[in-house]
Structure 1
Amino acid sequence: MTTLTSPHDLLAAIPFLIGYHPSNSLVLVALNTDSVDKDAVGMAMRVDLPVDLSCESYDLLASHFTRERADGALLVAYTPAESAAGETVLINASAALMRAGIEIRESLLVQSNRFRSLLCIDSACCPPEGSPVPEIDSSRIAAEHVIAGHPMPFATVGELIHSISALPSAAHESWMSEVNQFIIASDAKELNHMQRDGATAVIDLAGEYHVGRGAEDRELVARVIGRMSDIQVRDFALGSHSLESADSYWRMWRDLLVIAPNGFVAPIASVFAALAYERGEGALAQRALDRALADNPQYSLAVLLRRVFTVGWPAKSFTKMRAELHPKVVATIFG
């Protein structure tokens, strides 16, 4: 999906852009009217519905659009039926964006499964009581995503979190023992040999996913999870996928994230979060970082990625950085 041509498109697109159906939220979508595809959708931000934010806080939200080099914005506030804050939030957010030179292309208030535009004054197409929120399943946006191989969005953020939560098997003692066999200590005598073994295992397991076998090779899966305890192997894994292999790696890291034992989650979750961010799934990336930091609150890559994601660093810049780092990691491991 590259363009949104109506309020119906916008409302159908937002769950795909953030990964789930929002509630009690303010969602801001960046547009770039100078792109090859006119009005191409860029960054999408979701924040808990702000009530008492200062002008400076709204200006901070707008600064992300400036950093994205956006020149247009779409705004949607999702509020409970009894809330009167939606219009105020949309007006304040719009004012901040306009101060930053961003044109407001649409501003929608969603309550009780009905929506209305704050920009439309024609009661024939925008009745005061609002219009029904369209069903997402039958929308053009949903069809485009399904054809592209993307899953339907989760009903709630809770379901999204559950999708990457640990399975009971991750805590089985026998499985933890298998993974522990492949842990890499920083002072290991054969450190470089073990790093090469880990990097090779990542490529081999990704190959299994590419041909449809997935995580059938239990020892290979344990080897990858255990070897990811080494920073060099983790950094190799971070940059090992290409545009063509990204889907295979996506499935692999997601599967490994839910079966990684405690103490081995942080590197898997951090790499998965980076890939999710590159795919435009910011909410899932943040929830993956929650898992990483719950496993190891001081895990440096997770802390760094949290900062990167929070300031809205463009995904394409992160992709470029990762691509530039990978040859250096390869040279370190394989000489």
Structure 2
Amino acid sequence: MDHSHDRVPITSPADLLAAVPYLLGFHPTDSLVLIGLTGPRVAVATRTDLPHPDDVAAWVDELTPSQIRTLHQATADTAIVIGYGPAAAITPVMDALNPRLTATGIDLFDALRVTDGRYFSYLCQNPACCPADGTPFDPHRSDITMHAIVAGCHALPDRDALVASIAPATGPARTAITRATTRAKAHRSALVRDAGRNALINAGADMLRTALTRYANARTLTDDELAWLTVLLPVTAIRDAAWQATDSQPWHLAMWADITRRADPALAAPPAALLAFAAWRRGDGALASIALDRALAANPTYSLAHLIDQLIRAGLPSSVLDGWPDLDQLHLRLLGDADA
């Protein structure tokens, strides 16, 4: 994820480790985190599940090219690698990955392992600052944590909590939206039959304006309004209007997250893909990835979700769409990265 907007004063490994959950949006476990720096600034942060011990070599072969692309696209000249887990899981990964990174010209500033509240450096052998039994740290007592909270950043307990934050609604809320969606589908059919497709597109534009106004003012849609929007979003013209209206404002994320969570699961692909786009534009790669999972679970062939997935896998920074929409330029960038 792109963190060019972050301004957190990091002066030690403990500071960096306290900042990582706020860079990712959750506290990582059993993970490999790669931090890319441009000068003293965090330019990008990515997280990957650790491989099975028998799969380390193949995992590193697959991971390294995408990580290198991500670092280069973010103009990062220095990297810090952090492994979260026991030594038996982290050390083989570090032994395989770190030489591959340095061989491509990336300056590896440090390689850390976080285990049971202590961090260990694979590069520093000075016992004065990096003792063999590790250095204890408490991220909850860090000034970095306070700085992040005051700045409005949040870190969920783990990735599962982030997944749960946009999981389909259950119980009475699910029942209510199912009934509202049935009514909305009937209304859509009647509108097309009586007034034609242009009337449907106009209705979608009106509903989109209502949604944008509502969430910009920290309010939400009713079940009937939300159901009406979700039965209209599969229309490409309406979806594209929503896409063009979506960027990185926090309330855009809040809007599409709420609509994704409350929507009938069968209709979740458009709002989840738009949430992924907003999250990617804001630099929240973890949420973008989870939103893409929701979109593709609802519709495995959904083109917008696949396009955003291409953007992320190509390591393109969100700034590639500054001044968008220019889809021709975007496709050329993707083709160029595929040929590289």
TM norm. shorter chain > 0.5: yes
Identity %: 31
Equivalent residue runs for 1:112-261 within 5 Å:
112-136=116-140, 138-150=141-153, 152-168=154-170, 169-172=173-176, 173-181=178-186, 183=188, 190-215=196-221, 217-241=222-246, 246-261=249-264
The verdict on how the C-alpha distance between 1:182 and 1:127 changes in structure 2, with shifts beyond 3 A counting, is farther
- Which amino acid is 1:163 matched to? S
Instruction: Report the counterpart of residue 307 of structure 1 in structure 2.
Output: 310
* Alpha-carbon distance change, 57 to 291 in structure 1, aligned in 2, over 3 angstroms: closer
Query: Do the aligned partners of residues 222 and 58 (structure 1) sit closer, same or farther apart at CA in structure 2, a change above 3 Å counting?
Result: closer
Q: 100-109 vs 267-276, which deviates more?
A: 100-109
- In 2, are the aligned partners of 1:184 and 1:227 still within 8 Å (CA)? no
Give the alignment of 1:1-335 within 5 angstroms. 1-2=6-7, 4-33=10-39, 39-50=40-51, 51=53, 52-54=56-58, 56-57=61-62, 59-60=64-65, 61-80=67-86, 83-136=87-140, 138-150=141-153, 152-168=154-170, 169-172=173-176, 173-181=178-186, 183=188, 190-215=196-221, 217-241=222-246, 246-317=249-320, 319-320=321-322, 322-324=324-326
Structure 1: how far apart are the matches of 2:116 and 2:300? 39
CA apart distance, 1:273: 0.8
SS of equivalent to 2:155: coil
Worse-matched range after superposition: 64-73 or 160-169? 64-73
Q: Distance in 2 between matches of 1:56 and 1:175?
A: 48
The C-alpha deviation readout for 1:70-119, integer Å capped at 9, x for no partner, is 10111101123xx4242332233221221121111221111122111222
Aligned residues: 311
Inter-partner Cα distance in structure 2 for 1:271 and 1:15: 24
CA contact (8 A) 1:179 1:222 kept: yes
**CA distance, structure 1, for counterparts of residue 187 and residue 41 of structure 2:** 46
Is the contact between residue 14 and residue 137 of structure 2 (CA under 8 Å) also seen in structure 1?
Answer: yes
CA distance in 2 between counterparts of 1:134 and 1:105 reads: 22
- Contact kept in structure 1, 2:69 and 2:314, CA below 8 Å: no
**RMSD of aligned C-alpha atoms?**
2.4
Superposition TM-score, scaled by structure 1 size = 0.84
**TM-score under structure 2 normalisation?**
0.83
Unaligned runs of 5+ in 1: 34-38, 326-335
Cα deviation, 1:298-318, whole Å, max 9, x if unaligned, reads: 11111222222223221211x
For 1:179 and 1:149, locate their aligned partners in 2 and report how far apart those are by CA, in whole Å.
36
Q: Aligned pair in 2 of structure 1 residues 242, 273: CA closer, same or farther (>3 Å)? A: closer
Distance 1:295 1:58, change over 3 A: closer
The alpha-carbon distance between structure 1 residues 184 and 25, as it changes in their structure 2 partners (threshold 3 A), is: farther
Label 1:202 to 1:142 Cα distance change in 2 as closer, same or farther (>3 A).
farther
Displacement of 1:149 in angstroms is 2.3
Q: 1:120 to 1:268 in 2, by over 3 A?
A: same
Q: Is the 1:238–1:271 Cα contact (8 Å) retained in structure 2? A: yes
Encode CA deviations 1:219-263: one digit per residue, 9 max, x unaligned.
4323322211211111111121456xx222221111111110132
Q: Which amino acid aligns with 1:67?
A: Q
**C-alpha contact 2:17 2:139 (8 A) present in aligned 1:** no
Structure possessing the higher relative contact order (Cα contacts under 8 Å, 6 or more residues apart): 2
Deviations 1:142-168 (A, max 9, x none): 333323323x21112111111110112
Following superposition, the deviation at residue 41 of structure 1 comes to 1.0
Q: CA deviation at 1:195?
A: 1.5
Q: Which runs of 5+ in 2 are unaligned?
A: 1-5, 328-340
Q: Which runs of 4+ in 1 moved over 6 A?
A: none
Cα distance in structure 2, aligned partners of 1:76 and 1:199:
46
